[in-house]
Amino acid sequence: MRRPILAANWKMNNLTADAKKLCAGLKEELSGLRDRDIVVCPPSILISTVKDALAGTLIGFGAQNMYYKQSGAFTGELSPDMLVDAQCRYVIIGHSERRQLFAETDALVNLKVKAALEVGLTPIMCVGETKDERKAGKEKDIVGGQIRAGLKDVKFESPLGLVIAYEPIWAIGTGETATPQDAQDMHAYIRSVLTEIYGEETAGLMRIQYGGSVKPDNIDELMACEDIDGALVGGASLEAKSFARIVRFSA
């Protein structure tokens, strides 16, 4: 089995006091776990608070976005080096909210993934189809296209250093989760696309997270699926006990 990776995406939620409290709860609940990767992605302004609050634990942290240039006149953006300097190990790239609300394209996602890998960050590259695309039976074309374009000419040293998150847009924040069968079906398809790009051995080692209304009461059946290697969790990551239960899934 691939080493599971469970990540919290706080999105634009929490102030300093909330972050400290949430991290203290996670520290208490999760400190002893060594057999999985645990990641917290707060708003960037809270990264140093989270770093201090999680010091001494194995819980990693990262950013929800970054720009692909290392410095310069890009008002409001953060560079890959800045995230490394803040001791991040991970960065979410191409979340559907960034694609839909901030017009991020596959080409930009591709530049960001490359820039993240170049400085040793682990990108969590998000892909996923809309409800209409699924209704039209186009979900695999869409997701396959996002994977191929996002990973165009992308090379990496370790297959563990690049994570894919499959997040069907219709399942994000809606309470509607993909059935484990539908999710597994798409994850197997994604792995087949990764196999085309990187070969069977590497694709077999790469981790693919599911995201979209993951909760304590559906994580176990999702994680029981062969090609689901973790979760990217929004709403349910804002409460320590519920995220801890997700991290402690039993499959």
Query: Which residues form the catalytic set?
Result: 95, 167
Q: Does 235 bind ligand PGA (CB under 6 A)?
A: yes
Q: Of 73, 94, 113, 57, which is closest to residue 169 (Cα–Cα)?
A: 94
Structure tokens at 28: 């208490």
CA distance 111 to 115: 6
Q: What is the DSSP letter of 115?
A: H
Stretch that binds ligand PGA, among 66-74, 78-86, 142-150, 211-219 (CB under 6 A): 211-219
Phi, psi of 217 (to 5 degrees): -90, 0
CB of 173 to ligand PGA, least distance (A): 4
Q: Which is nearer to ligand PGA, 81 or 220 (CB)?
A: 220
Q: Which is nearer to ligand PGA, 230 or 234 (CB)?
A: 234
Q: Does 143 bind ligand PGA (CB under 6 A)?
A: no
Q: Residue 50 carries which side chain, given as an amino acid letter?
A: V
Q: Does 39 bind ligand PGA (CB under 6 A)?
A: no
Q: Does 172 bind ligand PGA (CB under 6 A)?
A: yes
Q: Does 91 bind ligand PGA (CB under 6 A)?
A: no
Number of residues in contact with ligand PGA under rule CB under 6 A: 13
Q: Of 215, 211, 222, which is closest to residue 243 (Cα–Cα)?
A: 215
Q: Which is nearer to ligand PGA, 1 or 12 (CB)?
A: 12
Q: Does 163 bind ligand PGA (CB under 6 A)?
A: no
Partners of 209 in the β-ladder: 165, 230
CB of 212 to ligand PGA, least distance (A): 5
Q: Of 110, 38, 54, which is closest to residue 86 (Cα–Cα)?
A: 54
Contact 232, 9 (CB under 8 A): yes
Residues within the interface to ligand PGA (CB under 6 A):
9, 167, 172-173, 211-214, 232-236
